[in-house]
Amino acid sequence: MSRQVLAVVALLAAGAASAQTIVVRADRLVDVRDGDYVSPAIVVIDGERITGVNPPTVPPGARVIELPGKTLLPGFIDLHTHLTLTLDGDWKHQAATETAADWALLGARNARVTLLAGFTTVRDIANNGGFPDVALARAVDKGLVDGPRIVPAGNSLSITGGHCDTTGYAPGVLETTPEDGAVDGVDAALKGARYQIKHGAQVIKICATAGVLSAEGPAGAQQLTDEEMRTIVEEAARHGVRVAAHAHGTAGIDAAVRAGVTTIEHGTTLDEATAKLMKQKGTFWVATSYVWDVLDFPGMTPTMQRKRDELRQRIGASLRLGLKHGVKIGLGSDELWVHGRNAREFTTLVRHGLTPAQALRAGTLTGAEALGVTDRGELAPGLLADIVAVGGDPLGDIKAVEDVKFVMKGGKVYKQP
Ligand SMILES: [Zn+2]
């Protein structure tokens, strides 16, 4: 956004304010496109949209929200949440002892704390099954539950026995089908993708490789075949749906990128060749770097601990490679335990070499781009009024974003100092 655009009142003339007009006034705002501060910060909101940024005059009679000492930012976007999961207590048996209704209600609680942490949009990828994420997204849209705008994935598609399948039970107990996400072969992959979309998935999550919190030995081994992944990506595209691929190992990352997925989740062992390929294909990378700091909790088996210890050594070097080659980095927290800590991912990305401005762009504009939406991600006339405010100096010390003081989503205030 240029300064000239900022200075223009887009839609509202200086006439009387409508009943819904709100003016938010703070010390400054972050222009996430340029990575600069703009002062002062006067944002005019009519209904659910921003109608002016720093206009020459503000509409008389508007409701004014004063935020002295604060910096405005666009609402944050987390591309990798699990709102309907909390891994605590007997987490390995949740699939056998709880229902989708339990997970939807848990999700309502997690959605609220995530919104209050400044995240006004999330892409929720993977849950325990039964479409609690789709139900939660609908409940938020209806105003029944306070939460971010949710892009739900339904059931993740995985090979039988793979990272995103339900494992650890005796034969005949909790067996899974393509509808549940267990897909073997092209026909099952088609059925699995179509079934998720039929029941409300707005993104398809696939498990391209093994992972940490599952029973397999090698954490990075490719699981879905190249052909299965291509089939899913092509089918999803026919519905206008994008694909997010969980991938740790280099070969699996490479296969998923070649299959045409929109985002690589984790991407823990990127190398020069895969980084260059992602840059060339425009694949987004959701590095989930913060999760490695907190991946230590009751119930992890020795195999899981070994895989975690192997992979977390790699994320720093991989991020440096991704930056070097200009891979588009979007922010994703992978928060599975204490929901609402999502903003720590900004801080961890900076620790691994992003500038605060680059990290802020990852969690706003690039997130919107990865979702394929142009109605959010920055503070500009015509966009959704998803606005947060923080104290401190976020472009100097990124930790300021971990303490959000004000949250507005779609013109409605959810948190105020
Ligand atoms: Zn995850």
Q: How far is the CA of 82 from the centre of ligand 1 (A)?
A: 7
pLDDT at 323: 97
6 has pLDDT over 50 = no
95 has pLDDT over 90 = no
Does residue 206 contact residue 289 with C-beta atoms inside 8 Å?
no
Closest by CA position to 125, among listed 285, 306, 334, 307: 334
A 10 A CB-CB count for 201 gives: 25
Does residue 161 contact residue 175 with C-beta atoms inside 8 Å?
no
Q: How far is the CA of 337 from the centre of ligand 1 (A)?
A: 11
Q: How far is the CA of 307 from the centre of ligand 1 (A)?
A: 15
Q: How far is the CA of 372 from the centre of ligand 1 (A)?
A: 20
Taking the CA atoms of residue 219, residue 222, residue 228 and residue 230 in that order, the dihedral angle to the nearest 10 degrees is 110
pLDDT band at 51 (very low <50, low <70, confident <90, very high): very high
- Burial group, residue 328, by CB count within 10 angstroms (0-12, 13-18, 19+): middle
Tokens 């599952």 — which residue?
214
pLDDT band at 200 (very low <50, low <70, confident <90, very high): very high
Q: How far is the CA of 291 from the centre of ligand 1 (A)?
A: 9
Q: Tens of pLDDT along 120-179?
A: 999 999 878 999 999 999 999 999 999 999 999 999 999 999 998 888 899 999 999 999
Q: How far is the CA of 193 from the centre of ligand 1 (A)?
A: 19
Q: How far is the CA of 224 from the centre of ligand 1 (A)?
A: 17
d(C-alpha 189, C-alpha 233), whole Å = 10
pLDDT at 19: 64
Q: How far is the CA of 124 from the centre of ligand 1 (A)?
A: 9
Does residue 150 contact residue 124 with C-beta atoms inside 8 Å?
yes
Q: How far is the CA of 292 from the centre of ligand 1 (A)?
A: 12
d(C-alpha 325, C-alpha 331), whole Å = 18
d(C-alpha 290, C-alpha 308), whole Å = 13
pLDDT band at 17 (very low <50, low <70, confident <90, very high): low
d(C-alpha 387, C-alpha 392), whole Å = 16
Average pLDDT, integer, range 363-373: 98
277 has pLDDT over 70 = yes
Average pLDDT, integer, range 209-237: 92
Q: What is the pTM of this model?
A: 0.94
Q: How far is the CA of 164 from the centre of ligand 1 (A)?
A: 10
Average pLDDT of the residues of the chain = 93
Average pLDDT, integer, range 349-372: 98
Q: How far is the CA of 162 from the centre of ligand 1 (A)?
A: 14
Does residue 106 contact residue 84 with C-beta atoms inside 8 Å?
yes
Q: How far is the CA of 52 from the centre of ligand 1 (A)?
A: 37
d(C-alpha 263, C-alpha 320), whole Å = 18
Q: How far is the CA of 80 from the centre of ligand 1 (A)?
A: 6
* Percent of the chain with pLDDT strictly greater than 70: 95
Q: How far is the CA of 374 from the centre of ligand 1 (A)?
A: 25
d(C-alpha 180, C-alpha 182), whole Å = 6
Encoded tokens for 133: 């994420």
Q: How far is the CA of 126 from the centre of ligand 1 (A)?
A: 7
Q: How far is the CA of 27 from the centre of ligand 1 (A)?
A: 37
Q: How far is the CA of 32 from the centre of ligand 1 (A)?
A: 26
Average pLDDT, integer, range 262-267: 97
Q: How far is the CA of 325 from the centre of ligand 1 (A)?
A: 25
Q: 397 — alpha (psi -120 to 50), left (phi > 0) or beta?
A: beta
pLDDT band at 16 (very low <50, low <70, confident <90, very high): low
Q: How far is the CA of 264 from the centre of ligand 1 (A)?
A: 11
Average pLDDT, integer, range 108-125: 98
Q: How far is the CA of 54 from the centre of ligand 1 (A)?
A: 39
Q: At 391, is the secondary structure helix, strand, or coil?
A: coil
108 has pLDDT over 50 = yes
353 has pLDDT over 60 = yes
pLDDT at 400: 98
The one-character DSSP state at 18 is: P
pLDDT at 337: 87
pLDDT band at 390 (very low <50, low <70, confident <90, very high): very high
